[in-house]
A and B are shown apart, each in its own frame.
Chain A
Amino acid sequence: MEQLIATLVFVTLGFFFGRRAEKKHYTSLIEREEKLNALPVIASRIPPYDAPYEQSLVSGSVVIANDYFKAFVAGLRNLFGGKVRSYETLLDRARREAVLRMKVQAKKQGADYVFNVKFETSNISGQYSKKLPIVEVHAYGTALKKIA
Chain B
Amino acid sequence: MLISNLEFMTGKKIIKHIGLVQGSSVRAKHAGRDIMSGIKNMFGGELTAYTELLQESREEATERMIQQAEAVGANAVLNVRFSTSSITAGAAEIYVYGTAVIIESDTSTSAVAS
Contact = CB atoms under 8 A, between A and B. Distances in A.
Task: Please say whether the chains A and B touch (CB closer than 8 A).
Answer: yes
Interface of A: 40-46, 49, 71, 74, 77-85, 87-88, 91-92, 95, 99, 117-123, 125, 130, 133, 135
A24 B89 CA distance: 29
Contacts, number: 105
A82 B95 contact: no
A76 B99 CA distance: 36
Interface of chain B: mostly helix, strand, loop or mixed: strand
Interface in B62-114: 78-79, 81, 83, 85-91, 93, 95, 97-99, 114
Nearest to B8: A46
Contacts of A46: 7-8, 114
B26 A81 contact: no
Interface of B: 7-8, 17, 19-20, 22, 24-31, 33-34, 60, 78-79, 81, 83, 85-91, 93, 95, 97-99, 114
A133 B89 CA distance: 9
Contact of B79 (A44, A121, A130): A44
Nearest to A43: B99
Contacts of B30: 78-82
A51 B81 CA distance: 28
Given A42-B99, A46-B7, A120-B83, A78 B24 contact: no
A12 B95 CA distance: 30
B35 to A, nearest CB: 11
A62 B85 CA distance: 16
Given A117-B20, A119-B83, A130-B89, A91 B26 contact: yes
Contacts of B93: 87, 91, 121
A42 B33 CA distance: 40
Contact of A74 (B8, B20, B83, B91): B91
Contact of B91 (A44, A84, A117, A121): A84
